[in-house]
Structure 1
Amino acid sequence: MRNALRRAVPAAVGLLALTACGTEVPDGLIVAKPAAPATPYSGPLKAKTPERVGEDSPLEGGGAALLTLECTGRPHEAGAFADEGSGDDGAGSAAEALARQAADGFYEMPDRGYRVEARSGHRVLYSYDVAGRTRAAVIVAEDRRGWFAETHAACDPSEYRARERARLSVMVWQDTRGRAVSTAKVVGWMGAEHCDWQSVEFLTLGRGDDGRLRGRQFLRDPERKLADLDGLTTTYANDVPLPADAVDTGYRHDGRELWLAPDKSRAYVRDADGAVERWPGRDEPVGCM
């Protein structure tokens, strides 16, 4: 989705100060001496979200940030940051605005490894690159209040480097060759603390065409937090035998193997020591508000 018009980014872009009075810019958030991108972005830093993005899409509001991406697969998520247009004071510099937003949370985006790729007027594009291609982007803008993070966009987390994937709130699984698998196929995460679900591990197979999690969901629930949830296909159990007809999905995570019952009603997860857990399935994903 990279803008078709390209030109070299002026060398002065790389000289943007990384520190200023106010918000501390953590080490590693911005790369001091990044490698040059294969095709530097030269499109607008303020634009409408492409018309092909629907109103209820996880890409809604991404604007120009979406144009900067160079994903191998489909863009994963995008949007405008909530503090745009608020009455709060802004940061003292573009770097501080990026640091402030990183401290508030970057959703399923890397929290370090960004480079300054472009600057136009009162906007700066920070890109997270892998193999010289932009996999995540944040555009920060300056107004009379100071600097604010304005829009963001990102490829699927499976396209990040392993060290950044390991720091995400979602779990990116791998295949049998150790290659990251798209979260559109399989993704895991721990439950929310504010719902007292932090001991529950969720795993979803498949997404809808709009990117929403709609596939079969499985729950690892050793503390039985959701044991009474309607629609569960079975109960959670540990140290169970792996059924002879269980099907290996080929998905792996931290030494664990994901197997499914033939009808996909329940999952079996075998760890590196050979111990097997049974995870109940559910047709409708459960969420914590």
Structure 2
Amino acid sequence: MRGRLTAVLGAVLVMVVGGCDAGDDVVVDGTAPSVPYGGPLNVPTKELDEYTPQALRLASGAAGRALECAGEIYLGNGPDGWNRDDGGDSPEEGLKLYFHLFDPGDPRSGYRVERRETDRVLYSYDVDGRTKVAVVVAKDQQGRPGWGPESSASCDPSELPADWTDSHGYEIWTDRAGERVPTTEVSSGPGDDHCDWDEVHFLDLGERRYARDPEGLLESGMLTAPYDGSAGMPAGAHDTGYRYEDRQLWLTDDRRAAYVRTADGVEAWPLLREHLACK
């Protein structure tokens, strides 16, 4: 379920998430929420061949149930990926194993124990007293002795602290009211350097993807129209209210291009063709 950061154009944005947050503890004492998660920690999981909120909740078991997202669940996983030689001697070692094996795009420090049982511990990363990332570690799972991850889930990155998302490569847009917008609604970022697209900038609006490619690095046929760095604003364009730094996003009704206004003028980012990958 975490296969989002690939070379395929369905997920070309680069997020810098490697390594632990320097100088911070993985587990802290924290402050218990007024209403901690009270459900079961041993919840059967089920993998579906789809990426929907329902599928993520089924895949993430107790971790998905423990989330307190303002929007929909963003990522969710069940037990997978480690063997009998990996298990730790303590719940905290099991949590560290989760980061080591899966390299999730989540904070790697500042977790607290929300629930503890004999053979399971629920760790949560909270923002303003609400759980935004949850990881359940379990002891002596079938064929895997010791402590290790059993399920995990997280809310949209826009619900994480701004200083964390800013320092880890996320470009979080805001709406007319200045509120952070879910990345599933609008997101942007540089392309993957594996594809030599690090000078290309991509913009996702739901199922549509646009590109800023002033150097012409994308292969012929990948764009539905040329990039225009000095476009005029079409008469029918409207301000979406979306903002990122000095960028303002404007669209026409046909959405064939995204018009990005800055202090330097207006750029036309063309729509990309679907299901294309770098070679």
Q: TM-score if structure 2 supplies the norm length?
A: 0.78
Q: Is the helix fraction higher in 1 or 2?
A: 2
1:8 is matched with none
1:223 is matched with 215
The gaps in structure 2 that reach 5 residues or longer are 1-19
Residue correspondence of structure 1 range 93-104 to structure 2 within 5 A: 93-103=90-100
2:236 is matched with 245
2:35 is matched with 39
Asked if structure 2 preserves the Cα contact closer than 8 Å seen for 1:252 and 1:258, the reply is yes
Cα distance change on mapping 1:287 and 1:74 into 2, 3 Å: farther
Cα distance change on mapping 1:88 and 1:276 into 2, 3 Å: farther
Cα distance change on mapping 1:277 and 1:81 into 2, 3 Å: farther
Cα distance change on mapping 1:238 and 1:287 into 2, 3 Å: same
The gaps in structure 1 that reach 5 residues or longer are 1-23, 207-214
Q: Which stretch shows the higher mean deviation, 37-46 or 139-148?
A: 139-148
Asked if structure 1 preserves the Cα contact closer than 8 Å seen for 2:257 and 2:271, the reply is yes
Secondary structure at the aligned position of 2:63 is classed as helix
Return the letter of the residue paired with 1:183: T
Asked if structure 1 preserves the Cα contact closer than 8 Å seen for 2:48 and 2:59, the reply is no
Asked if structure 1 preserves the Cα contact closer than 8 Å seen for 2:28 and 2:111, the reply is no
Cα distance change on mapping 1:25 and 1:135 into 2, 3 Å: closer
2:44 is matched with 48
Offset from partner CA, 1:157-211 (integer Å, 9 cap, x none): 22222123324454321113321112232122332232222222222112xxxxx
CA distance in structure 1 between the partners assigned to 2:89 and 2:172 by the alignment: 35
Offset from partner CA, 1:201-237 (integer Å, 9 cap, x none): 222112xxxxxxxx1111122332214134x221123
Cα distance change on mapping 1:266 and 1:252 into 2, 3 Å: same
Cα distance change on mapping 1:111 and 1:219 into 2, 3 Å: farther
Q: Is 1:275 matched up with 2:275?
A: no
Offset from partner CA, 1:229-266 (integer Å, 9 cap, x none): 34x22112324333343221111112211112331100
**How much is the aligned-residue C-alpha RMSD, in angstroms?**
2.9
Q: TM-score if structure 1 supplies the norm length?
A: 0.76
Secondary structure at the aligned position of 2:60 is classed as coil
**Residue from 235, 256, 262 that aligns with 1:265:** 256
CA distance in structure 1 between the partners assigned to 2:277 and 2:117 by the alignment: 40
Residue correspondence of structure 1 range 118-129 to structure 2 within 5 A: 118-129=115-126
Q: Identity of aligned pairs, percent?
A: 42
- How many aligned positions are there? 254
